[in-house]
Amino acid sequence: QRVRGLLQPGERLMPAWKLALPALLLALGGLLAQAQAKVNAGGEAGDETESAVLAALPQPAASAPEAVASSASAAQAVLQAASPAAPEPTAVLAAPARPTTSGWRLPVNARHAVVIEEGSGRVLMAKDADEPVPIASLTKLVTAMVVLDARQDPQEQLRIADEDVDRLKHSASHLKVGSRLPREAALKLALLSSENRAASALARAYPGGLEAFRLAVRRKLQGLGLQHTVIQEPTGLSPENVSTASEMARIAAAASRYAEINAITSASRAKVPVNGQAREFHNTNRLVGRKGWDILLSKTGYTEEAGRCLTMRMKEAGKAVTVVLLDADGSAQRLKDAAAIRRSLGR
């Protein structure tokens, strides 16, 4: 009644719910903000960075066999105790076109995977290993083999041209148009840090140009007996570059016969001359060079169509194996898959 007495003639008292409406809206906004924050946090947790996964992987223990059996320590057991000399990979090339598993039932995230024991050619694990899918920058292993087969001068200077710019995916590059570098430096960048412009320049500088390069690639694939692998361009940016996990294992085995590819891809970093100045680049596979991991050959790949991909040869517990992972959901998942495989090999 006192409030009503303060009203001017003709004025009406605002209902209580209208008075409370601004406060209700403010509270609702706060709840929505909290909910969104939880969603965002959940997304980050589900897509961990490689650094977080690497930090979670244990360092090798000198004594404690129980650690090898544990899920964490077993992630280091695959590669550290193999013999110094890698077995001849010919047996991998002769692996069955449709692999069968040898009892492994690993819940790997990658949609297509295969693990092959070198020497025997025995398939330890296979998951949809014969379906052709995009392989992204795993393509560069084929590019490197074809370039090396041509036996061109490794010190010849190549120039990054406008044609080397990625206009399909608009990927970033450390090489500006006009940059100059020796052919062997371009090969290192293509394999180690997966530089698309370097791979493109290598193909352009192939004897006879790009068409001759594509013809040489087709001949290479035919020579390896690959029936489901198609390579349309040298970088892997095109989703038309496809293969299967089984055939990628055979490509990795073939690539391992090139000393240059082994040396480049098994290094964690390299200093490369660009425009006459040494620059340091890092391996896109952050397991390379990590204590306890003995990786002999490695190549990663990623495009939206291909997902996260990885192929590598590694040694552990007296075994040398070729691992192929295609279409993992993220780089962290790719690392977790590799660790799971290594754990199983160590058992």
Q: Catalytic residue positions? A: 137, 140, 194
The token pair at 338 is 């590799």
Please, what is the end-to-end C-alpha distance for the chain in angstroms? Answer: 83
Which residue(s) pair with 270 in the sheet?
Answer: 281
Amino acid at 68: V
Backbone angle region of 129, left / alpha / beta, with phi > 0 → left and psi within -120 to 50 → alpha: alpha
Q: Return the SS3 of 302.
A: strand
Give the separation between CA 138 and CA 229, rounded to whole angstroms: 12
79's tokens: 């590669």
Question: In angstroms, rounded to a whole number, what is the distance separating the alpha carbons of residues 106 and 128?
Answer: 13
List the beta bridge partners of residue 299.
Answer: 311
Contacts of 83 (CB under 8 A, 6+ apart): 315, 318
Nearest to 210, CA basis, from 173, 258, 163:
163
Q: Strands, DSSP E only, in 5-102?
A: none
Q: How far apart are CA 251 and CA 221, in angstroms?
A: 9
**Which residue type, as a one-letter code, is found at position 274?**
V
Task: Dig out the tokens for 35 from the structure.
Answer: 């909910």
Token pair listed for 202: 């290598």
Strand partners, 274: 277
Please give the DSSP secondary-structure letter assigned to residue 163.
G
Any idea what DSSP says for residue 60?
A: P
Task: Return the bridge partners of 272, or none.
Answer: 279
Helix (H) or strand (E) holding 125: strand 123-127
